[in-house]
Amino acid sequence: MNPKCDIALIGLAVMGQNLVLNMSDHGYRVAVYNRTVSKVDQFLNSSAKGKNNICGTYSIEELVNSLTSPRKIVLMVKAGEVVDNFINLLLPHLDEGDLIIDGGNSLFSDTTRRVEELASQGILFIGTGVSGGEEGARNGPSIMPGGNSEAWPLVKEIFQAISAKVDDGTPCCDWVGDGGSGHYVKMVHNGIEYGDLQMISEAYDLLYSGLKLNHDEMYTIFDEWNRGELDSYLIEITRDIMGYKEEDGKPLLTKILDRAGQKGSGKWTGINSLELGVPVTLISEAVYARSLSSLKEERLEASKILAGVERVVDGNREEIIEDLRQALYASKIVSYAQGYMLLREAAQEYNWHLNYGSIAQMWREGCIIRSVFLEKIKEAYEANSGLKNLLLDDFFASALKESQGGWRRTVGRAVAAGIPMPAISAALAFYDGYRSATLPANLIQAQRDYFGAHTYERTDRPAGQFFHTNWTGEGGDVASTTYEV
Ligand code: NBP
């Protein structure tokens, strides 16, 4: 009889297969199963061939029986209903203390619900973000687990073994917190990824359609940017994309349709930021920019009707490129600061104890937003765990001071040349709003009180006292308490 397996994985698509191979490489014995069971043999006869610590199983019962106790079962399947269906199929075969781990991109509130429902039945549940795509899953992803904390010791060793590591060997995997916090952190990671992709695309637009640079020239620029403060996986792949040519010698990028897809985690981040009242403007703009890009036919029509200006950026090329680099760097700081504002508010709202330095560490390697820059975020939170906002950290405040000139000139040039920069300009507007001791919100309060008797606070009276003015002399003196616009 074969020895029992250490862990099981259900879902042999790209992520599942690569995670299994990764666990196998680290010496773990893994049982595998897939809804379409023919894919089990396909896997065993292809990339898992010859790996005798990967065991195919052909029913849920066989999978469960192949495991040592307490059982550990990873679901790497399509998020949503499919996860609940598998949990329901597994439950009749499990014993108290067994553990189900959902490694897909589940909505954090679903994970919170599953942790609670399963705890009431004596079953442990972890919802974990796994980032890094196919290559990460195979060679070391960033792993962000949260859920029932009693479950963490059961998988800590396996997860940290297969995860990415930073240079000093620290794993990019640590316990995030209770409930759906692991999937929440993954959601914010994905939102930040949306922002990074959008900002880089805006920079490319200015270089290509504004400065009329060719792809070889842009390759060199992204290559240089990748050697400095912007050093990151996404700048690196952008450089490589600039250099990629088809057999006809033409850059493939010029032949790719400008209609960006999305799977939903950026939208979830935007929706949650609205619900929690956190101004995560850059990520939201990045989501809207993809929505606008998808209106290709409408844009084609509008391009023939609506007036604009010639898309040309004039001036000293080197200065314009350096200003753009500064704009990208400053906007990136704002984007991460907004992401961390959201994490802080969520921790408060959902009663999680998040370690912000450790989150930066988990994103440092293995995941799509990995970058040198995250080291600085980790250092900022290590120096001051109660830091109110990343922008107020000395390093980031002075980085913004140094780059704001180039940032402002870049946004000015883009506006003058009719080149849309929704993310980079939203970041600048946020920065200017955040550093404003006074905002024109006094007028909004006056307007609200004028038309809806919503009341206002006064600068010459203590905060918390509300006043209503009969602005026209014709309205009443009764203030509104329930009517909101
Ligand atoms: P998919 O998201 O394409 O999921 C494929 C798996 O889900 C297969 O095992 C498939 O079984 C199963 N499945 C589907 Br689809 N519908 C099902 C149903 N109605 N009932 C039962 N099983 C069903 O695979 P993936 O791209 O490897 O991603 C797995 C998870 O990891 C997802 O949640 C994804 O969001 C997340 N993720 C993906 C990436 C990435 O780069 N791809 C990165 C990070 C996280 P079948 O073979 O029988 O159809």
Using one digit for the tens of pLDDT, what is the confidence trace for 24-60?
999 999 999 999 999 999 999 999 999 999 999 999 9
Going from the Cα of 127 to the center of ligand 1, the distance in angstroms, rounded, reads: 15
The pLDDT, as a whole number, for residue 157 is: 98
What's the CA gap between 195 and 339, in Å, rounded? 10
The pLDDT, as a whole number, for residue 2 is: 79
Residue pLDDT, tens place only, 443-465: 999 999 999 999 999 999 999 99
Ligand 1 atom 11 nearest Cα = 35
Out of 72, 186, 376, 378, which one is annotated catalytic?
186
pTM of the complete model: 0.96
Best residue for ligand 1 mutational test, from 9, 14, 15, 18 (most atoms within 8 Å of Cβ): 15
User: For all residues of the chain together, what is the average pLDDT?
Assistant: 96
Going from the Cα of 192 to the center of ligand 1, the distance in angstroms, rounded, reads: 22
Q: What angle do CA 476, 479, 481 make, to 5 degrees?
A: 145
Going from the Cα of 393 to the center of ligand 1, the distance in angstroms, rounded, reads: 40
What's the CA gap between 176 and 189, in Å, rounded? 13
C-alpha atoms less than 13 angstroms from C-alpha of 443 in its C-beta half-sphere: 3
Would you say the CB of residue 372 lies under 6 angstroms from ligand 1? no
For the record, the structure tokens of 31 come out as 């049982």
Residue 280 pLDDT grade (very low, low, confident, very high; cuts 50, 70, 90) = very high
| SS3 label, residue 5 | strand
Residue pLDDT, tens place only, 164-200: 999 999 999 999 999 999 999 999 999 999 999 999 9
pLDDT at 475 over 80: no
Ligand 1 atom 1 nearest Cα = 78
Q: How many helices (H) and strands (E) does the chain have?
A: 19, 7
The pLDDT, as a whole number, for residue 485 is: 43
Would you say the CB of residue 189 lies under 6 angstroms from ligand 1? no
How many Cβ atoms are within 10 Å of 14's Cβ, its own excluded? 13
The pLDDT, as a whole number, for residue 477 is: 77
Compute the 3-state secondary structure of the chain and give helix, strand, coil in percent, each to the nearest 5: 55, 10, 35
Give the closest residue to 142 by CA, choosing from 165, 125, 126, 158.
165
pLDDT at 410 over 60: yes
How many Cβ atoms are within 10 Å of 236's Cβ, its own excluded? 17
pLDDT at 482 over 60: no
Question: What is the pairing mode between strands 72-75 and 54-56?
Answer: unpaired
Going from the Cα of 11 to the center of ligand 1, the distance in angstroms, rounded, reads: 6
Q: Which atom of ligand 1 is nearest to the CA of 79?
A: 33
pLDDT at 483 over 90: no
Check if 193 is active-site. Answer: yes
Would you say the CB of residue 133 lies under 6 angstroms from ligand 1? yes
* Cβ neighbours for 309, distance < 8 A, ≥ 6 positions apart: 416, 417, 418
Question: DSSP string of 317-368?
Answer: HHHHHHHHHHHHHHHHHHHHHHHHHHHHHHHHHHT----HHHHHHHTTSSST
Residue 416 pLDDT grade (very low, low, confident, very high; cuts 50, 70, 90) = very high
Going from the Cα of 167 to the center of ligand 1, the distance in angstroms, rounded, reads: 31
Q: Which atom of ligand 1 is nearest to the CA of 17?
A: 27
pLDDT at 480 over 70: yes
- CA 239, 241, 247, 249 dihedral sign is negative
Q: Which atom of ligand 1 is nearest to the CA of 10?
A: 9
Check if 81 is active-site. Answer: no
Residue pLDDT, tens place only, 313-339: 999 999 999 999 999 999 999 999 999
484 vs 338, higher pLDDT = 338
User: What's CA 229's distance to the chain center, in Å?
Assistant: 20
Going from the Cα of 74 to the center of ligand 1, the distance in angstroms, rounded, reads: 12
The pLDDT, as a whole number, for residue 336 is: 97
For the record, the structure tokens of 380 come out as 């900022």
Residue pLDDT, tens place only, 66-106: 999 999 999 999 999 999 999 999 999 999 999 999 999 99
Residue type, 290: R
What's the CA gap between 277 and 448, in Å, rounded? 19
Q: What percent of the chain shows pLDDT beyond 70?
A: 99
Out of 61, 116, 134, 193, which one is annotated catalytic?
193
C-alpha atoms less than 13 angstroms from C-alpha of 52 in its C-beta half-sphere: 2
For the record, the structure tokens of 382 come out as 């290590």
For the record, the structure tokens of 226 come out as 């990748």
For the record, the structure tokens of 351 come out as 């009663």
DSSP 75: E
Q: Which atom of ligand 1 is nearest to the CA of 81?
A: 19
- Widest CA span in the chain: 91
Q: What percent of the chain shows pLDDT beyond 90?
A: 96
Would you say the CB of residue 130 lies under 6 angstroms from ligand 1? yes
| SS3 label, residue 53 | coil
* Cβ neighbours for 400, distance < 8 A, ≥ 6 positions apart: 330, 333, 391, 431
Is the preceding omega at residue 70 within 30 degrees of 0, hence cis? yes
For the record, the structure tokens of 483 come out as 């009517």
What's the CA gap between 108 and 117, in Å, rounded? 14
Q: Which atom of ligand 1 is nearest to the CA of 86?
A: 21
DSSP 145: E
Would you say the CB of residue 104 lies under 6 angstroms from ligand 1? yes
DSSP 50: T
How many Cβ atoms are within 10 Å of 145's Cβ, its own excluded? 29
Would you say the CB of residue 10 lies under 6 angstroms from ligand 1? no
With b meaning 16 or more CB within 10 Å and e meaning fewer, what string describes 266-290? bbbbbebbeebebebbbbbbbbbbb
Going from the Cα of 13 to the center of ligand 1, the distance in angstroms, rounded, reads: 6
Q: How far is CA 352 from CA 175, 176, 183, 358, 359, in A?
A: 12, 9, 13, 14, 13
Question: What is the pairing mode between strands 54-56 and 30-33?
Answer: parallel
Q: What angle do CA 33, 162, 376 make, to 5 degrees?
A: 135
